[in-house]
Amino acid sequence: MPFRLIIPLSLLCALLPLYHGAPGPDGTAPDPAHYRERVKAMFYHAYDSYLENAFPYDELRPLTCDGHDTWGSFSLTLIDALDTLLILGNVSEFQRVVEVLQNNVDFDIDVNASVFETNIRVVGGLLSAHLLSKKAGVEVEAGWPCSGPLLRMAEEAARKLLPAFQTPTGMPYGTVNLLHGVNPGETPVTCTAGIGTFIVEFATLSSLTGDPVFEDVARVALMRLWESRSDIGLVGNHIDVLTGKWVAQDAGIGAGVDSYFEYLVKGAILLQDKELMAMFLEYNKAIRNYTRFGDWYLWVQMYKGTVSMPVFQSLEAYWPGLQSLIGDIDNAMKTFLNYYTVWKQFGGLPEFYNIPQGYTVEKREGYPLRPELIESAMYLYRATGDPTLLELGRDAVESIEKISKVECGFATIKDLRDHKLDNRMESFFLAETVKYLYLLFDPTNFIHNNGSTFDAVMTPYGECILGAGGYIFNTEAHPIDPAALHCCRRLKEEQGEVEDLMREFYSLKRSRSGFQKKTVSSGPWAPPAGPGTLSSPDEPREKPAKQKTSLLSCPSQPFTSKLALLGQVFLDSS
């Protein structure tokens, strides 16, 4: 029996006035200046509470007014909040924190760290702060942006992650010990996003340092996922990085997959890489064909396309913003308005929302102050100027302050139904949620620069233009200046052009003699030989050869986190 999506009448009615950009409850559009100041006050209440009660731990526990380490032991909230300080205009605190991080953060520690989280929060945060240092009045060293203490810290952190990529498939483990590498008993099962969310940070790092290893491993991981897609063009949720076999076969745009799609688009824009964009557009066709029902996106079985979970996850709310980046504004607005109705129903987005029933899913009723819907509002407001998007920003400020604000910061909302709180303030609240809210209400912020102003900087490779706009946000909302990628490689590119000409010359000679070898490349990057060799999206895929490497034992773990199991439970109860 085919699946039928039934939208609750209350949701349908709530959607109608929004489509026409209806004003707020008091009949007026939100005042950007007023809410800009409200957002700034939110930031400092959270930031000051962290400094007073939690530093040098990773994150604040707002209900007990103390701190704890979560993703390593990096003073993570300080790294995550650094570029937000500059966006809010606080250059003196930015300068102070740069000194604090240089003197206190050490990556040579015996800690098991998430490869994904360390990359997006630590490497991404340090790279962004490095590239914004001159704008923040930091006295940069000679050779900047091709050198600098924050860049060296980012490189050191990234090198600690490289052992995770040493697998038969080139897809990384999910966890690495910063001192010893991958633990012998580490599970080989990694989520799709944990494999495909490196190209923005690692390509930036390779461009600034001149070491291609970072971009190389990121590209191999991306292409291995591309080669692992099903015949109908979908990828699952978790995969074994040793065998390349899918462990959880639910396909969707949300948790466990989300930033893989995001980085195909953002990587394509950052690197001007047509191949990455072509890959995303192919995925986009399959997503529309199999997972889209109306203006909602469901979870389906990756090989058959049959619905496995008719739910909306809060992490999926980034999708309208991503659609705006490829110019699909109409569909983006329709989906955004659906998600906004859920926000209005609860005063936040529950982690899982049962679409047919129009209510939360058991044990997934919380809202940890995630940024994704606000992120999409920011992108869409830049594209359309629709006041409805400012209304979402207003609603977010009012809800978060009313429900989540406590004496020591802002607490995760454990249950949106009764507004119970949890004792955690994730670092992304300062890195993303507050930042996107502020940028939504601050149309003249330097981040929104349209190229009318810029800085000319002299580097060892010649003159470099920076700060002209077009910033690419990584998935932790750390802005990367795309122009910086061209500041440190001009001589390398000139050398590469000569090498390309020589290769072309000898290739022509060989072809005339009846011999020509076909190679695959993408711009200046050439794939390594062996297990990491890539194929383009237009070439036929070959099944990887069976690995002779012995499989690592998978430690006992609760499998409720796997969407395949959640999907089955959900369908049984429905």
The binding site for Ca(2+) comprises 475
From 213, 185, 551, 169, select the one nearest 177 (Cα to Cα). Answer: 185
Question: Rounded distance, CA 91 to CA 446, Å?
Answer: 13
Determine whether 59 is an active site residue. Answer: no
**Residue 134: C-alpha distances to residues 63, 209, 311, 398, 456 (Å):** 37, 18, 45, 35, 11
Question: Rounded distance, CA 46 to CA 51, Å?
Answer: 9
Determine whether 330 is an active site residue. Answer: no
Residue 449: CB atoms within 10 Å? 16
Q: Which of 351, 365, 426, 481 is catalytic?
A: 351
* Residue 352 dihedral angles phi and psi, to the nearest 5°: -125, 140
CB 86 within 8 A of CB 134: no
Q: Which of 80, 83, 258, 391 is catalytic?
A: 258
Cis-peptide into 368, omega within 30 deg: no
**DSSP-derived 3-state class of residue 201:** helix
What b/e string do you get for 249-267 counting C-beta neighbours within 10 Å, with b at 16 or more?
Answer: bbbbbbbbbbbbbbbbbbb
* Strand spans (E) along 460-548: 462-466, 472-473, 479-480
CB 380 within 8 A of CB 324: yes
CA 355 to chain centre: 25
Contacts of residues 245-248 at CB distance under 8 Å and 24 or more positions apart, as own/partner, are: 246/302, 247/189, 247/562, 247/564, 248/562, 248/563, 248/564, 248/565
Question: Rounded distance, CA 265 to CA 274, Å?
Answer: 10
Q: Which of 117, 186, 386, 432 is catalytic?
A: 117
Per 3-state DSSP, what percentage of the chain is helix, strand, and coil (rounded to 5)? 50, 10, 40
Spatial neighbors of 540 by CB under 8 A, at least 6 apart, are: none
Cis-peptide into 56, omega within 30 deg: yes
Question: Rounded distance, CA 291 to CA 302, Å?
Answer: 10
Determine whether 372 is an active site residue. Answer: yes
| Neighbouring-strand partners of residue 217 | none
Determine whether 117 is an active site residue. Answer: yes
What b/e string do you get for 327-360 counting C-beta neighbours within 10 Å, with b at 16 or more?
Answer: eebeebbbbbbbbbbbbbbbbbbbbbbbbeebbb
Going by the annotation, the residues of the binding site are 475
CA 91 to chain centre: 26
- Pull the structure tokens for residue 14: 């709530």
**Residue 345: C-alpha distances to residues 23, 25, 562 (Å):** 17, 15, 27
Active site residues: 117, 258, 351, 372
